[in-house]
Chain A
Amino acid sequence: MTELLLQYYRNRFTRYFQNQKLAKLITVFLFLSIFGALSVGIYFFVRGGLLFTVNTPYFKDVLPLFLYEMFLLIIGFLVILSASITALYSLFKRENNEWVIASPRFHTVPTYTAYRVFLSSLWPFVLIALPTLLAMNTVFGIGLWNIIVALVAILFFVAFLVFGTMFTIIIIAYILSKIKISKKSVLSFSRLAATCLILVTLLAAFSWNQALGGDIIALFQADDLTQEIATIGPIAERFKVFPSDPLATLLFQIQTKSNESTLALLGEIVALLIISMLLFTWSKKFYLSLWQKLQENSFVAKSRTTGRVPKSSFIRFFKSPLSAIYTKEWLIMTRNIRNAMWLFFLMMLLFIQTGLNFVMGKNIAVHQLNIELFPSIVQILQYATIAYFISAFVIRFALPSFSTERKTAWILASAPIDIAKMFWSKFWFFNIIFLVLGFATLFVNFFFLHLNIGSAGFLFFLSSISIIFITTLGLSLGAIFPNFNTDDPQVIATSFPGLIFISLSLSYGALGAYLFNVTLIKGVLFPLFSFMVISLLVIAFMLYISPRSLHHTEFVRKFTR
C-alpha cells in the first residue's frame, strides 16, 4: 500500500509537467522564490536577534532559551491545530477513501493519512527551522553535525505531534460514539470537530497561562540589578511541562556547545515519538467502525422524519436577485464546518499575536518603562500584522471562492442575471468581514496600548485601504485566473494565482509597513500618502476589469472526448 501511495505521488509529480509546461514552470519558480525569500528573511531576522544576544551578555543565555521554548510551543500548537483539521477531514470525510474502505486494505487509511498530515505539517518547520539553524551556525558556529542532529530532532518532534494528534482524534471519536445523549443521537462529524477544537482551545489556554502568565520581567530577573548574567533556571522550570521542552533544550545545548546530554534529549524525543506511534497503531483498530458510524448521519437524514435540520433559515433574505446572492455567500460560508475550522485556525493565530501585544503592553505598564519609540513600533507592527493576516484570510477564503464554484456555477450562470454580480457579492461580503475583523483587532490593541486618537484614526484609515486592496487583489486574481482542476482551496492557494497573490500581497504589506515607518519615525508623509492614493487607483482598476472577466469565464474543466 505504501509503495502504491509513493508511486501515486511520484506519478502525480511527473504528470504535473506534461501540459502547460511554461505556466507550471513559472508556478514552481514563484513557489521556490517565495519559499527562498521567506527563508532568507527568517535567516537575517534570526541572525540579527542572535547577534543582539551575543552582544548583550546579560541576556545571552536566557533570551535564546526563552525564544526556542516559545517558538517551539507556538509552532507545535499550530501543528496540532492544522493537523487536527486536516486529519479530521482526511480520516472521516474524504470521498476518495470509500474505495479503500470497501477493500480488504481499509486499515491503511489512517496510516497513509498520517503520512499525508506529517508531510503537510513539515514544511513550515523546514521553512523556519533550516534558516534558523543556519543563522545559529553563522553566529555560534554550531557545525554541520549539530545542524543534522537538530533537523532530525525536529522531524521526530513533528512526527510525534502528528501521531499524537491522530491518536487523540480517534480516541475522542471512540468516546463520543459510546456516549448516548438521547436515543436518536448518532456520532456526528460536527460534534467530533467541535469537541476536538474545544480541547485544542483548552490546551492553548493552559499553555498560555503556563508560559506567559505572571511577570515576564521577573522571569528574566531584569529587576535584579546586582546580577551580571540572567540564569536559565526560571525559564527551564516554567517550560519543563511541555513536550517541546526537550527539543528547545537540545537547541540551547547545541548553541552553547554543552553537548553532554544532547543524545539523551534526542532519546527523549524518540521515546515520545515511539509512544505516540504505538498508541496510534493501537487506536487504528477502532477506525473502521468509527468511519462507518460517521457516514450513518447522512443516511439518517435521508429518511423523512429525522435529519440535520438548520436552526435558522435564510429564505426571508431572498428578496431580490442581488439580496439572494449576498445571502447565499453568508449562508455557504457560515455553514461550512471546514471553513469554520480554518477560520478558527487563523483566528487563533490572530489571538496569539494580540495576546503577545497584551503581555508586552501590560509588562511595560506595570514596570512603568518609558520607551519613546514603543507606540510607533507597535503601530507599524500592527499594520504589518493586519496586512499579513488579511492576506492569509484572503488566500484561504476569498481567492479560491470563484474556482470552488465550478460545480455550482450552473445555478447563477443559467439565471437571467449579470454574472458580474457574482464578483460584487463576494467583494462586499469579504470586504465587510475582513474590515470588521481588522477593526476588531485594532480596537483590542488600541485598548491595550493606549494610543492617542489621532494615531489610532490614521492607522484605521491606512489599514482600511490596505484591507480593501488586499481583498480586491485576491478576488480579482481568483476571478481572472480561476482554477477548475481542483475543488480544494488549499491546492488553489498554491497554484499560479495563489502564488502571485502571496508575492504581491506580502510585498504590498511590507512596502506599506516601510512607508508607515518612514512617516512615523522620520515624519515624512508624502510617500505614504502616494502609496494610499495609488492603492485606491489600483483598487478602482481591479474593480473595472475583474467583474467583466467573469463574462468570459466558462466554469468547466478541460474537455476531453
Chain B
Amino acid sequence: MLYFLLNFPYSRILIDMLEIKNLTKTFDELKAVDDVSVTIKKGEIFSLIGPNGSGKTTIIKVIAGLLQPTGGEVVVYGSNISEDPIKSKSQIGYIPDEPTVWSSMTGEEFLHFTGALFGISNEARAKKISELLSLFKLEGIEKNYFENYSRGNKQKFTIIAALLHSPKILLIDEPIVGLDPHSAEIAKNTFREFANDGGLILMATHTLTVAEEISDRIGVLKQGVLIESGTFEYLKGVSKLEGGATLEQVYNALVV
C-alpha cells in the first residue's frame, strides 16, 4: 500500500521537495538559525540573502550534513537527514563557500575521488569529468596540484564535483565568488539548466544581482530569522518599493 502511494504520480509532488521545518541551530548560547521553515519544490531555485552572520551558510551546512540541527528537521525528497543521512546525501550536491581541497591532490584526482565517494563507476565518471572540464574550460590544467590553482579555478572544480553524480538538489554557498565574468555566466546557465531539468537549488549569496537574475524565490535572513520569503515581486511589495526597484534596494529596505 505504502509502495503504491509513494509511486503514485501525484504523491511524488509531496515528496519531490526539500522541506526545512522549524530548523534551529545554536552554538553554545548563540542562536545562528532560529526556527526557519521553508519548502522548496522540484525545478525551483531558492536564494538565501542576508547580512554576514545571519545564518545562510549554517542552514546550507545543516542540510549538507556538516552540522547537526539543534531543533526542527530537514527532509530531502522524503528522507529525513538526521534519520537517513546516507540516502539524503546521495541526492545532494554541495558547493562550499571556501573551495578548500587537499592541496597536494590534483584537480583530476579530486574529481575522481569525489565520484568514487558517490559510487560512480570509473568509466562513467571519466566521461562525465571530461564533459564538465570542457564546459568549464579547465582542460589542460586538471593534472596540476590544487594548491596551485587560482581561487576561481578551485571554485570551478568544486562545482564540477557537485554535479558529477547528477544530484537532485544543489546546495550552493556563494556560487560565483572568484569566477571571471565568462565563467560566472557558464555557472549561472548550468544552474538554470539544472533547475529546468527538474533539479532543485538552494543558494546562499551576497551577490544580489545573481539572486535577482536566476532565483524563483528569495528568502531574507536576519540574525538567524527568516524575516521574509517569496518571489522578487512579492518582496518588492512587502518592501513597499516601486516596480523598477532592484534586489539591492529591497535588501536595504528589509534588512538595513
Please tell me if the beta carbons of B143 and A318 are within 8 angstroms of each other in the complex.
no
Please tell me if the beta carbons of A315 and B109 are within 8 angstroms of each other in the complex.
yes
Please tell me if the beta carbons of A310 and B143 are within 8 angstroms of each other in the complex.
yes
In the complex, which range does the number of interface residues on chain A fall in?
Answer: 35 or more
Question: Nearest Cβ in chain A — how far from B96, in angstroms?
Answer: 5
- Judged by a CB distance under 8 angstroms, whether A410 is at the interface is yes
Please tell me if the beta carbons of A331 and B148 are within 8 angstroms of each other in the complex.
no
| C-alpha spacing A411/B96, complex, angstroms | 9
Residues of A within 8 A of B150 (CB): 302
Please tell me if the beta carbons of A560 and B143 are within 8 angstroms of each other in the complex.
no
Could you tell me which residues of chain B, from 71 to 121, have a CB within 8 Å of some CB in chain A? 85-90, 92, 94, 96, 98, 100-102, 104-106, 108-109, 112-119
| C-alpha spacing A309/B148, complex, angstroms | 10
Segment at the interface with B among A67-75, A369-377, A551-559: A551-559
From A298, A307, A320, give the contact of B141 (CB < 8 A).
A307
From B96, B109, B144, B147, give the contact of A410 (CB < 8 A).
B96
Please tell me if the beta carbons of A559 and B58 are within 8 angstroms of each other in the complex.
yes
| C-alpha spacing A315/B106, complex, angstroms | 10
Question: Nearest Cβ in chain B — how far from A175, in angstroms?
Answer: 25
- Judged by a CB distance under 8 angstroms, whether A301 is at the interface is yes
From A305, A318, A331, give the contact of B116 (CB < 8 A).
A318
- Judged by a CB distance under 8 angstroms, whether B53 is at the interface is yes
Please tell me if the beta carbons of B119 and A320 are within 8 angstroms of each other in the complex.
yes
Question: Nearest Cβ in chain B — how far from A1, in angstroms?
Answer: 29
| C-alpha spacing A408/B104, complex, angstroms | 12
Please tell me if the beta carbons of A332 and B86 are within 8 angstroms of each other in the complex.
no
| C-alpha spacing A298/B154, complex, angstroms | 14
Across the A-B interface, give the 4 residue pairs with the lowest CB-CB distance, nearest first: A335-B104, A301-B148, A324-B116, A561-B53
Which residue of chain A lies nearest to B98 when distances are taken between CB atoms in the complex?
A: A407
Segment at the interface with B among A125-133, A353-361, A415-423, A506-514: A415-423
From A328, A555, A560, give the contact of B113 (CB < 8 A).
A328
Residues of A within 8 A of B106 (CB): 309-310, 313
Please tell me if the beta carbons of B223 and A321 are within 8 angstroms of each other in the complex.
no
- Judged by a CB distance under 8 angstroms, whether B30 is at the interface is yes
Segment at the interface with A among B5-13, B62-70, B205-213, B226-234: B62-70
From B27, B94, B112, B119, give the contact of A414 (CB < 8 A).
B94
Please tell me if the beta carbons of A319 and B105 are within 8 angstroms of each other in the complex.
no
* Tally of contact residues, B, Cβ under 8 A: 51
Residues of A within 8 A of B181 (CB): none
Could you tell me which residues of chain A, from 503 to 561, have a CB within 8 Å of some CB in chain B? 552, 554-556, 558-561
Please tell me if the beta carbons of A561 and B223 are within 8 angstroms of each other in the complex.
yes
8 residue pairs bridging A and B, Cβ less than 8 Å apart: A302-B141, A307-B145, A324-B113, A413-B65, A417-B86, A555-B66, A556-B67, A561-B53
Asked whether A307 and B113 contact (CB < 8 A) given A416-B89, A554-B67, the answer is no
Question: Nearest Cβ in chain A — how far from B115, in angstroms?
Answer: 7
Please tell me if the beta carbons of B66 and A554 are within 8 angstroms of each other in the complex.
yes
- Judged by a CB distance under 8 angstroms, whether B32 is at the interface is yes
Given contacts A321-B116, A411-B161, A561-B53, 5 further A-B contacts (CB under 8 A): A304-B140, A313-B108, A332-B105, A335-B105, A410-B100
Identify which of A301, A321, A561 gathers the most chain B CB atoms within 10 Å of its CB.
A561
